[in-house]
Amino acid sequence: MDLQRVQAIASLSFSKDTIPAEFIRPEKEQPAITTYHGPVPEIPTIDLNDPCEENLVRLIAKASREWGIFQVVNHGIPSDVIRKLQAAGKEFFELPQEEKEVYAKPPGAQTVEGYGSKLQKEVEGKKAWVDHLFHKIWPPSSINYQYWPKNPPSYRDANEEYAKYMKEVVDKLFKTLSLGLAVEGHVLKEASGGEDIEYMLKINYYPPCPRPDLALGVVPHTDLSTITILVPNDVPGLQVFKDDRWIDAKYIPNALIVHIGDQIEILSNGVYKAVLHRTTVNKEKTRMSWPVFLEPPGDFVVGPLPQLVGEDNPPKYKAKIFKDYIYCKLNKIPQ
Ligand SMILES: O=C(O)CCC(=O)C(=O)O
Ligand SMILES: [Fe+2]
């Protein structure tokens, strides 16, 4: 058995209340110590089918400025389409370990696509309690089908259908976010790569963890993307950092969770905020989530929109091609 995978480690019958030391976070990160349980405002929930566009623009812009994250309901993706995506992903992760390894990212690979256990180099050699599978789902010309599981056989259809519906949501969000900056509706999408924007799906698989008080799933970060659109399963775990404390995101069946990522923060010259977030894990249950990261093509230049900068409002970020941005962030080179 390959013990790089958290799922394989979690399946070993080590003592019921211990985990390997490399998964024990330093105290300043431990969820039992750092999660805030007092009364807090909830992440905004927004009806994407609001017939009043002005109202929708106002709510999304406010949430993106103050939170950098919101949930959307009435988004137009049928619950059945979401259910099939989730069932197919769950079946893949429940396959024997060696069948999943067929899709493993080769060590040192240039791409993030494939099955694996770690994206970022971690401080203090600590590990995150999560495995993942990455692959693109849109546009069709960008898809590398070798990273799409052949088993279960429903996997391809389920993902293609999800991508098709997702595209409508993406277009509506880009338009609404543009109007919220008082620029024309087409601006943010075009400034993010237009029809070449890549939809990178990730499946996060967080196995049950004997010590959820000491471990973390995904460690604190902001997404590199423009925006990220995520569906979780029904096991809570996402936390966002707001007003200096870590608070839980509520699970709303069939809602999509929209994260403002680094690229929209840059394009908006800091008006919209990329949300700092992390995930906790569960003692008995497997948590899963399906974020779709909307990314500019690698050599596409992203910088503050010219409409938003001027003498009184200098650019707060340097313009750079997306792949250089990723390189600097992953290697912790100041931007
Ligand atoms: O699982 C989640 O809810 C969030 C995952 C996440 O933040 C990520 O994969 O970037
Ligand atoms: Fe994230």
Distance CA 160, CA 162 (A): 5
Nearest CA to 151 out of 96, 214, 104 is that of 96
Tokens 């958290």 belong to residue: 6
Task: Please tell me the number of the ligand nearest to residue 204's CA.
Answer: 1
| Atom number of ligand 1 nearest to Cα 132 | 9
pLDDT at 75: 98
Mutational pocket test of ligand 1: of 206, 230, 286, 330, the residue with most ligand atoms within 8 Å of the beta carbon:
230
Task: Please tell me the number of the ligand nearest to residue 278's CA.
Answer: 1
Distance of CA 204 from the midpoint of ligand 1 (Å): 7
Distance of CA 221 from the midpoint of ligand 1 (Å): 9
Task: Please tell me the number of the ligand nearest to residue 237's CA.
Answer: 1
Which residues are near ligand 1 (CB < 6 Å)?
202, 204, 218, 223, 230, 232, 238, 277, 279, 289, 291
| Atom number of ligand 1 nearest to Cα 238 | 3
Distance of CA 230 from the midpoint of ligand 2 (Å): 9
* Whether the Cβ atoms of residue 191 and residue 267 lie closer than 8 Å to each other: yes
Residue nearest atom 1 in ligand 1 by C-alpha distance: 289
- Determine how many CB atoms are found less than 10 A away from the CB of residue 195: 10
Strands 320-321 and 227-232 come out as unpaired
* Whether the Cβ atoms of residue 102 and residue 135 lie closer than 8 Å to each other: no
Distance of CA 312 from the midpoint of ligand 1 (Å): 36
Distance CA 212, CA 57 (A): 38
Distance of CA 227 from the midpoint of ligand 1 (Å): 12
- Name 288's bridge partners: 205
pLDDT at 275: 98
239, two tokens: 């936390």
Task: Please tell me the number of the ligand nearest to residue 222's CA.
Answer: 2
Distance CA 286, CA 70 (A): 24
Mutational pocket test of ligand 1: of 133, 233, 238, the residue with most ligand atoms within 8 Å of the beta carbon:
238
Distance CA 275, CA 265 (A): 10
Distance CA 138, CA 160 (A): 9
Q: Across the 335 residues of the chain, what is the mean pLDDT of every consecutive 10-residue run?
A: 78 78 91 88 96 98 98 98 98 97 86 82 77 97 97 98 98 98 98 98 97 94 98 97 95 98 98 98 97 98 97 96 94 86
Distance of CA 13 from the midpoint of ligand 2 (Å): 30
Contacting residues for 274 by C-beta, under 8 A, at least 6 apart: 68, 222, 223, 259, 260, 261, 262, 264, 265
Mutational pocket test of ligand 1: of 70, 219, 222, 279, the residue with most ligand atoms within 8 Å of the beta carbon:
279
- Determine how many CB atoms are found less than 10 A away from the CB of residue 35: 14
Distance CA 181, CA 59 (A): 12
Distance CA 230, CA 241 (A): 17
Catalytic residues: 202, 221, 223, 277
- Name 136's bridge partners: 200
pTM for the structure as a whole: 0.96
Distance CA 160, CA 95 (A): 21
| Atom number of ligand 1 nearest to Cα 259 | 7
Residue nearest atom 10 in ligand 1 by C-alpha distance: 223
Which domains are seen in the chain, by residue range? 6-330 (2.60.120.330)
Residue nearest atom 5 in ligand 1 by C-alpha distance: 218
In order of 110, 115, 172, 200, 275, the CA distances from 146 in angstroms are 15, 11, 30, 14, 32
